Amino acid sequence: MKRTLLVILGTALTVAGLLGSAWVWRYRAIQDATYYSDGDSIRTLARSAPVRDILWQPARALGHPVNSADDEYEPRLSGDGRSLFFVRGRPDEDADIYLSTRTPDGWTEPVPIDAVNTEADELGPAPSFDGSTLLFYSDRRGGFGGFDLWRISRQADGTWGEAENLGPAVNTPFNDYGPALSPDGGTLYFASNRPRRGERTTDLADGWPATLRDDYLQQPYDIYASTVSADGFGPASPVDALNSPHNEGTPVVNPFASFLYFASDRPGGTGGFDLFRVRIRDGTLEQPRRLGHAVNSPFNDLDPTLGLGGFELLFSSDRPVDDTEVAAKPGDDNAPPDYNIFRTTSREVYTQVDAAQAAMDWVGLWSAFWPVLLLLALLLLALLQELQVQGLLPLQEQEDKHYSLNLVPSFQLHLKQQALLAL
């Protein structure tokens, strides 16, 4: 019998040892196969990578001369980050596209791009990464209805040519807006309020401005994608990984094509429209994530664009620029929101403990807990008395018993009085 037990014990220990060795081998194999990557040139073992913590700085208004008393929105940086295209003026009121240049002294005075602007609305400027083409959307004549996507190309002498409509593969009788090319120019993203699959067609409102800043039609906006080739633009299809039952728009891809940013009013946000981003991994879009409170606000935050390799973010918002603007707009719901362009950069951060906040407040701690401690002492004395009455607490001498039975109720009454005073 004893020999059988030893055999069973030895076998169990051997199996446990083999399983433990297999687990250690598997753990090490996973560690040797886990890397940090940016999907491009970075591939470093996770266990040895000096990972840094990065956060967005609180966003600040871009200021003069870009922002003005008019509305400024839909900013878009050129591929080299030196040119800023944006819209000035409200939709349906002759909104135009402007251009400002970054210098060591700041942004230059914006100038309208006369080759693009007309008496109609021109909005949503989106330069190609190499700067040879500028996409935008407009309600000018010659389109398919509503707002259409257009493009204009630079000529050999550096001037802009004639604008051309992107065609029926992209445009519809509904509002198509917010174009954005991927860095390689192979994919066109944009937003549209065309009916979703299975939805009924809704008549368009006359003069309705195609922007998320104004009232919506019955169909919410979704983000669409079209493949770009030498033959032109392929049929546009909705990007299901980004869309929700709510509104999504203003897409843009960062310079390394590793993230796609967009705006949405889906529930659970800070308020109004929030900015999101989604990682692009091996051509697949992962789960969208909000950018956080340093960027998003209780107001509407829209139109993201990236610079400095993705570490600079510009966007538009109708949040107050400063306390002066808050005082000038005392919550008039009928007043149209004033949009301005804001900027933030991501910075490397470290953890820091606020010594004053982390210090123990002994006085406050005692004030909060001494009534509880008093009641616990009262309960303990009551328990001791009950144990004495039941004879479960042995006493050494008779006089001690007489003394204890009289002491406990007396002290107990004192504690009750103190407890009532504390309450």
CATH of the domain at 327: 2.120.10.30
Q: For residue 328, what pLDDT is reported?
A: 39
Closest to 73 (Cα-Cα) out of 346, 337, 344: 337
Same domain, 221 and 235: yes
pLDDT for res 331: 47
Alpha-helical regions (H) of 280-397: 323-328, 355-358, 362-389
What does the alpha-carbon distance between residue 251 and residue 149 come to, in Å, rounded to a whole number?
14
Query: What is the C-alpha radius of gyration for the chain, rounded to an integer number of angstroms?
Result: 34
Percent of the chain with pLDDT over 70: 77
Two tokens, residue 408:
């406990």
**Token duo for residue 219:** 């169909």
Average pLDDT over every residue of 268-275: 90
pLDDT at 405 over 80: no
Is-above-0.85 flag for pTM? no
Domain end position, chosen among 349, 375, 404:
349
Q: CB count, 10 Å around CB of 264?
A: 25
Query: What is the chain's mean pLDDT, rounded?
Result: 83
Domain of 43 in residue numbering reads as: 18-51
84 part of a folded domain:
yes
Question: Are 172 and 132 within 8 A, CB to CB?
Answer: no
Residue 192 pLDDT > 70: yes
119 and 204 belong to one structural domain:
yes
378, 336: one domain? no
151 lies in the same domain as 124: yes
* Amino acid letter, 269: G
